[in-house]
């Protein structure tokens, strides 16, 4: 390392991490989260040191409003932010949702590019400019921290972009976020754009510049880092790179690049990198979006060395093929191997290692399920235990409980499911046929507990390798226009996991009062 590098590493500049997993991330088709999931994710983001949590888009739905409101109440350290378009109603709704936040931010935006002005907004440039002034001023009347974004900034004429940025700062925006909305830019161009704005906008020194890059060309992280090199001091990103289309810049990649390559990037963040693995697993689990095996930093293979030459090198010295340790991102190489002989104490220690704390009461049911699993599987991995805990959380209010399941099927005949559920303490049984075993099971559930909700998504994911792997199943149900409810189930038996996932979604629906007890069951 040369002396200049040592010098710059001694005086690193702070880059703010703005996490938008709960807003832009949730906009990924099929990634919707329940309120409880969002609160859990927000608490983990807060714990890991995220500076600003974009908790939702308050006016978009009652669900988003509630999420911003609840997260505002619960989050201790991070600033909580709501997105708002440029209209008065949007901004006021964001302000209302943020009322209980210790530190609140309204993030207001409007499209500035010619293609968006013409086809999306049908507004002239001077009308957009007026909307910028109006929206920022209105937001500043509600909170003292306002961020403004020109949507599709990277395809906006530079002169007009400069005018808008200047007007937003003059109206009171403390942060100017430059989004590459369509993921079109490349690092040199994005560096030049941020530099141009900082040089040409007369009041640019009065605001923090932020970057928000989408990954359509796979350049989101590279562009974000180029933005920081050009003077931006806030990066907007998501856990696992979740987000619209190809996603947003991945938080874990940004944080670890800044950390590992401090010689090239003399900047720091407030993120405790050892919490990355936990956040990644949680987001993947609650959204049912599996993490790509070879995903940088958090993929299953990110620290795996299989070839002989690499393994040999690793055994001689880990730095031969490792630029950061798995521990630095929170993957523990624990000496606690869990199996059927493991006791309650070891199980509790393992849960703590994985970031879960349970009291004796909470541990009871979970330990019994761990023992059941350990009887079926030789070795219970960390991922198995995470799936078990998530499945336990997913049980919801448990008005419905799976008691017995028998499934038969094969080629040339319909599958048949015989199912017994406990409904409010009463056992009810039904038999149904279907195109396949899962279809037959879901029909049997509907037979026992008729409901209007429609199945929107059914997803199976193997938690580990091997034919004794646990299957983690997600079911999304939608009832009329009341939104999507997610249920999850995990078991070594895929069909049982599927049944549990469906029943967990129904339990959550009942917990939310989104479905009434069917008429046929009221007499039970």
Nearer to ligand KIV, 215 or 280 (CB): 215
Pairing, β 454-462 against β 471-478: antiparallel
- Alpha carbons 375 and 21: distance in angstroms, whole number: 37
Place of tokens 């109603």: 89
CB of 288 to ligand KIV, least distance (A): 22
Burial of 123 (0-12, 13-18, 19+ CB in 10 A): middle
> Residue from 181, 257, 269, 342 that binds ligand KIV (CB under 6 A)?
181
- Alpha carbons 17 and 11: distance in angstroms, whole number: 19
Q: State how far Cα 394 lies from the chain centre.
A: 17
Contact status: 18 vs ligand KIV (CB under 6 A): no
- For 208, phi then psi, to 5°, come to -90, 130
**Type and span of the H or E element at 73:** helix 62-74
Nearer to ligand KIV, 91 or 490 (CB): 91
Contacts 24+ apart (CB under 8 A), 259-262: 259/324, 259/328, 260/323, 260/324, 262/5, 262/9, 262/12
- Alpha carbons 145 and 96: distance in angstroms, whole number: 15
CB of 20 to Zn ion, least distance (A): 7
Beta-bridged to residue 418, according to DSSP, are: 406, 431
Stretch that binds Zn ion, among 21-29, 33-41, 163-171, 346-354 (CB under 5 A): 21-29
Site residues for ligand KIV, 20-79, by CB under 6 A, read: 24
Nearer to ligand KIV, 113 or 494 (CB): 113
- Alpha carbons 486 and 385: distance in angstroms, whole number: 20
Measuring CA to CA, which residue among 3, 29, 4, 14 is closest to residue 288?
A: 29
CA-based angle 246:152:62, to the nearest 5?
A: 70
Nearer to ligand KIV, 175 or 257 (CB): 175
CB 84 within 8 A of CB 93: yes
> Residue from 15, 16, 21, 24 that binds Zn ion (CB under 5 A)?
24
CB of 81 to Zn ion, least distance (A): 13
Site residues for ligand KIV, 288-307, by CB under 6 A, read: none
CB 191 within 8 A of CB 162: no
Among Zn ion, ligand KIV, none, partner that 252 touches (CB below 5 to 8 angstroms by kind): none
Nearer to Zn ion, 181 or 514 (CB): 181
CB of 221 to ligand KIV, least distance (A): 15
CB 132 within 8 A of CB 167: yes
CB of 105 to ligand KIV, least distance (A): 13
Measuring CA to CA, which residue among 219, 195, 255 is closest to residue 19?
A: 255
Site residues for ligand KIV, 261-280, by CB under 6 A, read: none
Stretch that binds Zn ion, among 18-26, 326-334, 360-368, 473-481 (CB under 5 A): 18-26
Residue window 138-177: x/- pattern of binding to ligand KIV, with contact defined by CB under 6 A: -----------x-x-------------------------x
Stretch that binds Zn ion, among 24-32, 330-338, 355-363, 402-410 (CB under 5 A): 24-32
Among Zn ion, ligand KIV, none, partner that 496 touches (CB below 5 to 8 angstroms by kind): none
Among ligand KIV, Zn ion, none, partner that 149 touches (CB below 5 to 8 angstroms by kind): ligand KIV
Beta-bridged to residue 13, according to DSSP, are: 267
CB of 27 to ligand KIV, least distance (A): 8
What angle do helix axes 344-353 and 360-376 make, rounded to 10 degrees?
A: 100
**Type and span of the H or E element at 408:** strand 400-410
Contact status: 212 vs ligand KIV (CB under 6 A): yes
**Three-class secondary structure of residue 57 per DSSP:** coil
Size of the residue set binding ligand KIV (CB under 6 A): 10
CB of 488 to ligand KIV, least distance (A): 28
Contact status: 183 vs ligand KIV (CB under 6 A): no
CB 10 within 8 A of CB 263: no
Nearer to ligand KIV, 178 or 388 (CB): 178
CB of 246 to Zn ion, least distance (A): 11
Q: Which residues bind ligand KIV (CB under 6 A)?
A: 24, 83, 109, 149, 151, 177, 179, 181, 212, 214
Q: Which residues bind Zn ion (CB under 5 A)?
A: 24
């Amino acid at each position: 390392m040369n002396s200049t590098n040592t010098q710059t590493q001694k005086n690193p500049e702070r880059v703010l991490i703005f996490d938008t997993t709960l807003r832009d991330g949730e906009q990924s088709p099929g990634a919707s989260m329940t309120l409880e999931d969002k609160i859990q994710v927000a608490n983990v983001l807060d714990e890991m040191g995220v500076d600003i949590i974009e908790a939702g888009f308050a006016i978009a739905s009652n669900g988003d409003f509630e999420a911003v409101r609840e997260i505002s109440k619960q989050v201790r350290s991070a600033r909580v932010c709501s997105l708002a378009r440029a209209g008065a109603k949007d901004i006021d709704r964001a302000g209302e949702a943020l009322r209980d936040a210790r530190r609140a931010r309204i993030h207001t935006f409007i499209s500035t590019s010619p293609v968006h002005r013409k086809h999306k907004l049908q507004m002239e440039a001077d009308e957009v400019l007026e909307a910028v002034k109006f929206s920022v001023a209105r937001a500043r009347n509600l909170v003292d921290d306002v961020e403004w974004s020109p949507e599709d900034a990277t395809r906006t004429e530079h002169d007009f972009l400069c005018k808008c940025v200047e007007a937003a700062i003059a109206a009171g925006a403390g942060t100017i976020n430059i989004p590459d909305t369509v993921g079109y830019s490349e690092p040199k161009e994005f560096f030049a754009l941020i530099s141009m704005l900082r040089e040409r906008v007369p009041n640019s020194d009065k605001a923090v510049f932020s970057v928000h890059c989408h990954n359509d060309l796979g350049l989101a992280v590279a562009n974000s880092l180029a933005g920081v090199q050009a003077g931006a001091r806030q990066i907007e990103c998501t856990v696992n790179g979740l987000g619209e289309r190809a996603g947003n810049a991945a938080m874990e990649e940004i944080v670890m690049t800044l950390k590992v390559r401090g010689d090239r990037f003399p900047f720091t963040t407030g993120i405790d990198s050892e919490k990355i693995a936990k956040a990644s697993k949680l987001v993947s689990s609650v959204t049912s979006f599996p993490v790509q095996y070879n995903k940088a930093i958090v993929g299953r293979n990110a620290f795996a060395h299989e070839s002989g030459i690499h393994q040999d090198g690793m055994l001689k010295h880990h730095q031969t093929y490792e630029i950061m340790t798995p521990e630095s991102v929170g993957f523990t190489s624990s000496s606690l191997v869990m199996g059927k002989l493991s006791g309650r104490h070891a199980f509790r220690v393992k849960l703590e290692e994985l970031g879960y704390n349970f009291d004796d009461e909470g541990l009871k049911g979970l330990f019994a399920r761990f023992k059941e699993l350990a009887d079926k599987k030789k070795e219970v991995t960390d991922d198995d235990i995470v799936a078990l805990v998530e499945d336990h959380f997913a049980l919801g209010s448990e008005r419905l409980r799976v008691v017995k399941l028998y499934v038969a099927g094969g080629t040339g005949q319909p599958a048949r499911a015989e199912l017994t559920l406990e409904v409010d303490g009463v056992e009810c049984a039904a038999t149904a046929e279907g195109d396949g075993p899962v279809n037959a099971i879901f029909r049997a559930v509907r037979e026992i507990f008729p409901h209007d909700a429609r199945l929107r998504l059914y997803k199976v994911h193997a938690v580990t390798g091997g034919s004794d792997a646990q299957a983690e199943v997600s079911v999304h149900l939608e009832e009329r226009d009341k939104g999507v409810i997610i249920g999850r189930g995990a078991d070594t038996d895929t069909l049982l996991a599927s049944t549990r996932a469906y029943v967990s979604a129904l339990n959550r629906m009942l917990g939310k009062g989104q479905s009434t007890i069917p008429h046929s069951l009221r007499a039970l």
